[in-house]
Copies of this chain bind each other. A is one copy, B any other.
């Protein structure tokens, strides 16, 4: 699966992932108004607004990018109706030829992780039928429970040619609270990084493993060390743009071959129309604003590679 992502990155010349994290406050009024007029102030109405918003952004960006990353929490907040739009978004993106990274951050004891892995990446057995539930290409995984909580995801990666990105060093302000604490003189995130390499050893797909790592753009010194520690691990890099990470900060996430990382931007792309820089598009043309923001982001990153 990672080789497919790399191929698309090379084709689009954009190591960019669009984060489909549609808070209602990001969605232009005319879309929300129309959805709520049709469905009322209901979860269904909110979900419809999210869907119309997503579709417009996907239609305006899919030819420029390799991947999208829907954040499932933004759908779960609207209950079952929101989750139906999560699946609809995943399916629509895959139809458009995009790699879908489900940002679900799941992780549990072995048997439970196996159920998550089946539902999000693999297949579940019902009688003699083998069925797909939510059907992403990659998902993000939380490592706090250790190897037996991650292994079931790796097993599905092998069986179904899928991939995961394990949280190593996250982009948020308090990520250091536990992740940076020193164990035998080395921060916890380095220990997790070593395990990620180990978990990925049997899933090599070209020069990189199908077990990747989440490494935040907001801590460039740490990403420099992690890049060296995990040469064959692809990085999913959140934190660019709205969270404060700059293109300069990203440089260390890449290997010398210009590969090794895919950089996510959510708000910076999907709510671009609200930025001064793109205000000329106006709320009606928010999809075009997102398209321009993708072009600018790819250029910004390619500048430092």
Which A residues form the contact surface with B (CB < 8 A)? Answer: 21, 23-24, 32, 36, 41-43, 45-46, 71, 73-74, 76-80, 82-84, 87, 105-113, 115-116, 118-120, 124-129, 131-134, 142-149, 167, 170-179, 181-184, 188, 191-192, 195, 238
Within the complex, which residue of B105, B125, B145 is in contact with A174, where a contact is CB–CB below 8 Å? B145
Question: How many copies of this chain?
Answer: 2
Contacts of A143 in B (CB 8 A): 144, 178
Known A77-B115, A119-B73, A149-B172: A181·B178 in contact at CB below 8 Å: no
Known A79-B87, A127-B36: A177·B133 in contact at CB below 8 Å: no
**Is there contact, CB below 8 Å, between A43 and B73?**
no
**Is there contact, CB below 8 Å, between A170 and B109?**
yes
Contacts of A133 in B (CB 8 A): 43, 76-80, 82
**Is there contact, CB below 8 Å, between B177 and A195?**
yes
Known A105-B107, A142-B144: A112·B179 in contact at CB below 8 Å: no
Given contacts A80-B80, A143-B178, A145-B172, 16 further A-B contacts (CB under 8 A): A41-B128, A42-B129, A73-B112, A76-B115, A79-B87, A80-B84, A80-B133, A80-B134, A109-B171, A110-B172, A142-B144, A146-B174, A146-B175, A146-B176, A148-B174, A178-B188
**Is there contact, CB below 8 Å, between B46 and A126?**
yes
Complex CA distance for A24 and B78, rounded to whole angstroms: 27
11 contacts between A and B (CB under 8 A): A46-B131, A74-B115, A76-B115, A76-B119, A77-B119, A79-B133, A82-B133, A109-B238, A110-B172, A181-B191, A188-B188
**Is there contact, CB below 8 Å, between B172 and A71?**
no
Known A78-B133, A80-B84: A178·B119 in contact at CB below 8 Å: no
Q: Chain B: which residue is nearest A238 at the CB level?
A: B109
Q: Chain B: which residue is nearest A149 at the CB level?
A: B172
Contacts of A181 in B (CB 8 A): 183, 188, 191
Contacts of A82 in B (CB 8 A): 119, 133
